[in-house]
Amino acid sequence: MADNDRCVFCDIVAGRADAYKVFEDEKSMCILDINPWTKGHCLVISKRHVPWWHDLEEDEVLSLFRVARTVARRMMATLSPEFVCLYARGRRIPHTHIFLIPTVKDDALDRFFNALEKLQESPPGLMALRDGARMEEARRLLGGAIPPVP
């Protein structure tokens, strides 16, 4: 990565930028998000600069999700949310990161995802994706595209 393309998450991992570190292991780090949706909103980042989580090495993926699970369990025990929302990003900041957001019914994130689910169920273009032939085609494409895990 060129010096003019500095990555904030790489800077945090390297200790060149401050962060509120919550937990880490040798491959991943969990920090508080500086623009939280809720109290305790965290980001789990890979220590190696890789834009998309599915391009990480297997041990890095295991680490990423193990750290996410560890912190999510702590959130459940200490913050008592209804659940912990998890979603992966990499678009705005092209460095693998997973959002962990303690969520309760009717908070901003819950309302957002409820709205997305309603949208998913309604447009004719999306409804057509439910057709059995299209579902079978997607299953064949995805099932055949990757080798089975031993």
Q: What is the CATH number of domain 3-104?
A: 3.30.428.10
Is the pLDDT at 129 greater than 80, yes or no?
no
Greatest mean pLDDT among 36-40, 114-118, 126-130 lies in: 36-40
pTM here? 0.80
In the numeric block, which tokens belong to residue 35? 């623009």
pLDDT of the residue at 148 = 52
Domain layout of the chain by residue ranges: 3-104, 105-150
pLDDT of the residue at 1 = 47
Q: Where are the beta strands (DSSP E) in the chain?
A: 21-24, 28-32, 42-46, 83-89, 97-103
pLDDT digits (tens, 9 = 90+) for 35-55: 999 999 999 999 999 999 999
